[in-house]
Amino acid sequence: MSALSQLQSTRQAIRFSHTFSHTVCASLAKGMLMGAVALSAPHVHAAWDSYIKGAFGPVVNWPLIPIHVVLLPDGRVLGYGSDGQGNQTGQFTYDVWDPSKGTGADAHLTLPNTTGTDTFCSGQIVLPASGAVLLTGGDKTVNNVRNYSVNDVNLFDYRSSALYSAQQPMAYLRWYPTVLTTAAGEVLVLGGRIDPDTPTPTPEVYTEGSGWRTLSTATSDDAYGLKNWSYPRAWQAPNGKVFVATKWGGTYYLDPAGTGKLEKTSLTLTASDEYLTSVMFTPGKILSLRKLNKAVVIDITGATPKATSVTGVGQDRFHGSATVMADGKVFVSGGSMVSNVANGVAYTAKIWNPANNGWTTAATATKMRLYHSVSLLLPDARVLTAGGGAPGPVINLNAEVYTPPYLYKQDWSGTLAARPSITSAPATATWGQAIPVVANVSGISKVTLVKTGSATHTVDFDQRFMTLNYTASGQNLNVTMPASANVAPPGYYMLFVFNSAGVPSVAKIIRLG
């Protein structure tokens, strides 16, 4: 190469280096500017990569530690579990948050609990017919020792925001019970314990209008008693029965009809933990985190259950949460490598994509979310993450609302995308019915249905997701509801429509059944 050519090549390299450095610095400056703006306007601007990772909003104060949260039929969120200083008790107050009013003090209605029941570590679910919240069991102090149990049953009426005692208690004392809605529209209660030394191995069923019955022929220490009493993981299965996946690895089908029938399946899983999360991400398929950073997809759509190993989330996340988002991907947040200890705290969330069983890195939260933290999908397609403590390394009387990637423009601007809206949809529907839905734009790309959540202790009772078939004529859609109650139990669901850019609407809450 001639001296002149070498000189020209060097000059070109210098110009490229200068241009590249200027571009990178400009991008970094832009990202830092967006980050600074995010502090003052959290859901208008965010970091440049929010369209990939999503973004957590600022830490906001909460009236109590929301150890239990449930999405109400009117879109508000009921929360309870501690007093206003973050001390263990569900006896003094409960809170109703209205997300449409923001996250300030005026968005909360905090009221005294006058039932006489300490609802700390109870089980809660929205009843499919009335929309009232059924609260089962709770805590009791005996000789100045906490964490005994009660068989109290309470109800929350979302129309009056009133919490009141039910007339009939359960047959068994329960603390840490699982509750879920069956295909028959009843509520099944599993597990919990009677006292610190005695689990509750016999399930019960609640029917609106007629009360409780005991599943006396389905008693089991292995399925939901001595070996698996703490919020047992259970889901309504497509075969009409209830599937139970234990922490020690055994799996079962429970038929809740009559006095109940339990059968063990041939599927044995690797060991998990009562504080490792699992979630049904589509009818009959469950993502379950197991010990030692393992994960499986449990498939209960066939004649016999099967499990396929998938890549783990990156570390054990004890007390972390898994929430199915409006697009069917699973948002995993919080947790730590050592149970309720600030050792290996997972501040950075992950998103699991069922299409390829792959994980992507999401945004990083400010607060650790460990024992007694929650995560809940909201009707505006964001995710509430909140709480932690009582006890814990920190007392989190606060929340951070996560805005998923699908709500941002798919570019480097860090700004929210234009959203479609549902201008008309029925309040109720039945299985297999084609319902008329009107959106404000044509070119809808997807319609999804997500069961309203009810979360506590890494469990989101009843949450499930499904993509719905539809036909479109301009802005008018004919949307077909799920085929049966086995895949979509009766109750309240969030209906989302997505525009051509993959951005979801605010949900319309519909009662199915």
141 membership: H or E segment, kind and range: strand 139-142
Cα separation of 45 and 71, whole Å?
A: 27
| Beta partners for residue 449, in sequence order | 466, 495
> CA 83 from chain center: how many Å?
23
The answer to whether the predicted template modeling score (pTM) of the entire model surpasses 0.85 is: yes
| 37/45 Cα distance (integer angstroms) | 6
Cα distance between residue 382 and residue 385, in whole Å = 10
pLDDT in tens, the chain (513 residues): 333 333 333 333 333 233 323 332 333 233 322 232 222 234 445 899 999 999 999 999 999 999 999 999 999 999 999 999 999 999 999 999 999 999 999 999 999 999 999 999 999 999 999 999 999 999 999 999 999 999 999 999 999 999 999 989 999 999 999 999 999 999 999 999 999 999 999 999 999 999 999 999 999 999 999 999 999 999 999 999 999 999 999 999 999 999 999 999 999 999 999 999 999 999 999 999 999 999 999 999 999 999 999 999 999 999 999 999 999 999 999 999 999 999 999 999 999 999 999 999 999 999 999 999 999 999 999 999 999 999 999 999 999 999 999 999 999 999 999 999 999 999 999 999 999 999 999 999 999 999 999 999 999 999 999 999 999 999 999 999 999 999 999 999 999 999 999 999 999 999 999
CA distance 408 to 417: 5
Report which of 311, 278, 307, 306 is spatially closest to residue 293, judged by C-alpha positions.
311
Q: Cα(108)–Cα(92) distance, rounded to whole angstroms?
A: 16
Q: What is the CATH number of domain 55-407?
A: 2.130.10.80
CA-closest candidate to residue 495, choices 424, 391, 418, 394: 424
Cβ-count burial of 272 within 10 angstroms (0-12 exposed, 13-18 middle, 19+ buried)? buried
Q: Which neighbouring-strand residues pair with 299? A: 285, 306
- d(Cα 45, Cα 376) in Å, to the nearest integer? 23
Q: How many CB atoms within 10 Å of residue 244?
A: 27
Amino acid in position 361: T
Which fold would CATH assign to domain 422-512? Answer: Immunoglobulin-like (2.60.40)
- Under a CB-based contact definition with an 8 Å cutoff, are residues 98 and 106 in contact? no
Say if CB 484 and CB 430 are below 8 A apart.
no
Which residues of the chain are in CATH 2.130.10.80 domains? 55-407
Retrieve residue 59's tokens.
């830490």
Structure tokens belonging to residue 227: 């070996």
Query: How far is the CA of 84 from the CAs of 65, 111, 239, 432, in angstroms?
Result: 8, 11, 44, 46
Pairing of strands 211-214, 233-236: unpaired
Edge-to-edge order in the sheet of strand 233-236: 233-236, 242-245, 250-255, 261-268
Distance CA 28, CA 34 (A): 10
Asked whether the beta carbons of 62 and 369 are under 8 A apart, the reply is: no
Measured distance CA(491)–CA(435) in Å, rounded: 16
Residues of the chain with CATH 2.60.40.10: 422-512
Residue 73 token pair: 């039929």
DSSP state for residue 365 in the 8-state scheme: -
pLDDT for residue 45: 56
Residue 436 backbone phi and psi in degrees, to 5: -80, 130
- pLDDT score recorded for residue 46: 84
Sign of the torsion formed by the C-alpha atoms of 209, 190, 334 and 196: positive
